[in-house]
Amino acid sequence: MKPRKSKEPLSGRDVALILLLCVSGMRAETARYSVPEEAERGSFVANIAKDLGLTGEELLTRKARLLPEGEKQYFQLNPHTGDLVVREQMDREELCGQSEPCL
């Protein structure tokens, strides 16, 4: 596999995969979450620790964190509990333009 030479930012899927691989250690697991565009700040998305079969303590020990794809950080992770919440409301047109589907 060749290293990336492009200066393009990582896609959301790449960031999610990297996060899950880092959090889950040697286990390769994938999780997908759907968030309505209208979701308000503080809206609960998922408990990542529970979905990965970890405790909040394990997330904290492994230094789990979210890395933003662009300038805005749309989600916030509580490393003590594993709760993932909306940090900033999303705008579909701003994120995806006219592309379909918008993932």
Question: How high is the pLDDT of residue 30?
Answer: 62
* CATH class of this structure's domain 39-96: mainly beta
> pTM for the complete prediction?
0.63
What angle (nearest 5°) sits at the alpha carbon of residue 92, between those of residues 87 and 94? 90
Integer Cα distance of 28 and 19 in angstroms: 11
Mean pLDDT computed over every residue of the chain: 77
Of 57-61, 69-73, 91-95, which has the strongest mean pLDDT?
Answer: 57-61
Amino acid at 96: C
Tokens of 54: 């970890």
Question: How high is the pLDDT of residue 28?
Answer: 45
Confidence band of 93 (pLDDT split at 50, 70, 90):
confident
Q: In the chain, where are the structural domains located?
A: 39-96
